[in-house]
Structure 1
């Protein structure tokens, strides 16, 4: 039987793990956020948002989502939070990407895995958990070209409420996937203007 491998300190993996303490290394909290779109009969696009019922960003509109629980995957948390905050379930959720700006959440170091979904069966959203309200926002895009990159302004409206996400469009160096850069948003909580921009580019790409 082969001898167990040891590291530069002469420890086997079992010995290393026995003395390892995660508390010695700072760790971010992990959240999952959802961009749920639906097509209107007229061919338009709508986005499902929730109004935050607690701090931070009390009263601001945000993507449905929340913290990933221990022993739960980001995918599981994404689906669970969507049901808890909006009552919407059964949608196919696809990863958009990981959002890790250390200043994205005023509560502290928080990293989010974001997901996108298309509602094709007329989900009825209702506020739950810590969401004060839900709303489908009509998404209108104004596009201009120039300077080597397309520029897009998304205007999201629901009644008298208007949110915006304005950005340049870049192309992924490896996959060619369109991504939003230089994002400037108004009305959204956290960095959700960035996530909405990336999700919009994914669902509208040719």
Structure 2
């Protein structure tokens, strides 16, 4: 895969990290989102902030910005957005903007309920294992977790810039859904035992969902 080549893009992911020792809290993260929305307002690809996820532990926010329609974008196409975003978020320690390609999406058992939690699993596959992991994810794992009570929405995307490559995310009623017997049963299948050991650079993060402006 050529990281700078054009890729089908459905979302942009803005990852914002704040330095240790300063505020920020969820309120400041929400305020930052308003600034981001204003900075993106004149984007030619019609961006809007769809989901704001905040981790107080990591002092980090994930902002999912939906494109008006799927668009082929190269890494260079993001360059005009960098300066407005940096100006809108002067207190951030790091800003990463990535193209996301949607590869799986399904409403969950609890679709329609407002989410309080957003769980993200990011990983790079071992060399040669992406086809098998994608079959497992999209054929068994994601549909199974979407069907668990407490799961509102399940989605998997490919991060073509600041990886890991695979980003699976789940909107949840509460974070306790992860410990439910139904959720644990989906994680414990024989196919899971084959696929999961071939994850590398794995990041699992539980976020709080903030209101979208």
Counting helix residues as a fraction of each chain, which structure ranks higher?
Answer: 2
Q: Please identify the structure whose Cα radius of gyration is greater.
A: 1
Give TM-score scaled by structure 2 length.
0.33
Greater relative contact order: 1 or 2 (C-alpha under 8 angstroms, separation 6 or more)? 2
Give TM-score scaled by structure 1 length.
0.34
